Amino acid sequence: MATDEHILGRSDADDIEAILEISNTDMDEVVHAVKDNADALFTWDYERSRPALVKLYEKAKTSQWNGETDLPWDTDVDPYKLVADLRQSDARMGPLGHLATQPGSPLAKWGEKEWTEFGVESMNWRLSQFMHGEQGALLCTAKIVETVPWIDAKYYASTQVMDEARHVEVFAKYLDTKLTGHYPINAHLGLLLDDIIADSRWDMTYLGMQIMVEGLALAAFGFMYQMTNEPLMKQLLRYVMSDEARHVAFGVLSLKEYYAELTDAELRERQEFAFEAAVRMRDRFLQQEVWDKFGVNKKAVIKGLLSIPQSENVFQQMLFSKIVPNCKKLGLLDAGDAWLRRRFEEIGVIQFEDWVDTGEEYESLDLVAQDRAAAGQ
Ligand SMILES: [Fe+2]
Ligand SMILES: [Fe+2]
């Protein structure tokens, strides 16, 4: 059984020095190589034996959209207006809003000007990380095409490769043409993506990407979609979410079958990997690069953020609202001695276990099809 030291590289998940030590040291890097350690598998079994994946593949074929022509790129975007909408939700539900109310916090004295400037930087940072994460999904899914042994999964994954290319494309274009700058990859996110790609086992790519990274992205996009009134961003998120719901469903449907055959010891390795991913994603949301750019004492801010009681950190909890029910559906919460359940209890997200899982939800989230039906197409 692995210790936290082994899983996370530190014995205390909240060790601030260790968290800050993980930082991007090569800001000018253009190409980043990772060994993917996997065999590319042919299968000679062309039988369409997995009806749920067949159905998902058919859905993917009819729900394609064009990032260039299906979004209103002629919209004028005012980044200050964009963040003003999101500020309200941050102030109400976000951890920063909470932190600002704490006496002695570096944010306690912030006025309107600081919050607005910070909001614009934070938006640049957030969308940059989404863009890098989308590229991670592009590479992971291309790897799944090669490594998964089932023909129905290879077919489906090929459609996701196209989806992810489109997602990278639209986030990059939004950043370049509508916002005011972008950021290199956050080191915690980079570490997670490297770990996912480097793992030789095909199901680990799914678990890291489709269940954890995309499960979180689906929740985060949904949250931003609700909060923003900017029409281009809203439409972009609406269409990306529509694809992401299928991607998470692809993970749930594939791994449910595969995990039914694994031993408790093998499942324990999956539980540990899911926990590692959860902590890396939590660490990435501490947005240490933005504090640097803004000249704020990041150690003090991050200490403050980590000390917020879980019950009051609604935003962070909501990010797990898809991951936890999906892990439950896969049997990962309670396998063996329910190790993952206990870890999710510790990080305060277990209350989502009975929320709707994403195995079926993609149909109701097929917003592209709904828009086309409404337009009579
Ligand atoms: Fe994506
Ligand atoms: Fe995706």
DSSP 185: P
| CA angle (279, 284, 285) in 5-degree steps | 100
Q: Which ligand is nearest to the CA of 248?
A: 2
> 89: pLDDT confidence band, cut at 50, 70 and 90?
low
Q: Has residue 335 got a pLDDT over 60?
A: yes
User: Rounded to the nearest whole angstrom, what is the distance from the C-alpha of residue 121 to the centroid of ligand 1?
Assistant: 22
Q: What is the DSSP string of 84-97?
A: HHHHHHHHHHSHHH
User: Rounded to the nearest whole angstrom, what is the distance from the C-alpha of residue 138 to the centroid of ligand 2?
Assistant: 8
Q: Has residue 91 got a pLDDT over 60?
A: no
Taking only the tens place, the pLDDT of each residue in 41-73 is: 999 999 999 999 999 999 999 999 999 999 999
User: Rounded to the nearest whole angstrom, what is the distance from the C-alpha of residue 161 to the centroid of ligand 1?
Assistant: 9
3-state helix/strand/coil string of 131-195 = HHHHHHHHHHHHHHHHHCCCHHHHHHHHHHHHHHHHHHHHHHHHHHHHCCCCCCCCHHHHHHHHH
CB atoms within 10 A of CB 39: 9
Predicted local confidence at residue 312, as pLDDT: 75
> 150: pLDDT confidence band, cut at 50, 70 and 90?
very high
Which residue type, as a one-letter code, is found at position 161?
Answer: V
Give the span between the Cα atoms of 126 and 123, in whole angstroms: 5
Rg (CA), the chain: 20
> 176: pLDDT confidence band, cut at 50, 70 and 90?
very high
Here the tokens at position 235 are 């439409």
Q: Has residue 88 got a pLDDT over 80?
A: no
Here the tokens at position 345 are 């209890």
> 230: pLDDT confidence band, cut at 50, 70 and 90?
very high
Listed residue (195, 163, 167, 197) closest to 278, CA to CA: 195
Give the span between the Cα atoms of 341 and 333, in whole angstroms: 5
Taking only the tens place, the pLDDT of each residue in 117-138 is: 888 999 999 999 999 999 999 9
Please, what is the average pLDDT of the chain? 92
C-beta of residue 50 within 8 angstroms of C-beta of residue 152: yes
User: Rounded to the nearest whole angstrom, what is the distance from the C-alpha of residue 180 to the centroid of ligand 1?
Assistant: 22
User: Rounded to the nearest whole angstrom, what is the distance from the C-alpha of residue 46 to the centroid of ligand 2?
Assistant: 25
Give the span between the Cα atoms of 209 and 190, in whole angstroms: 13
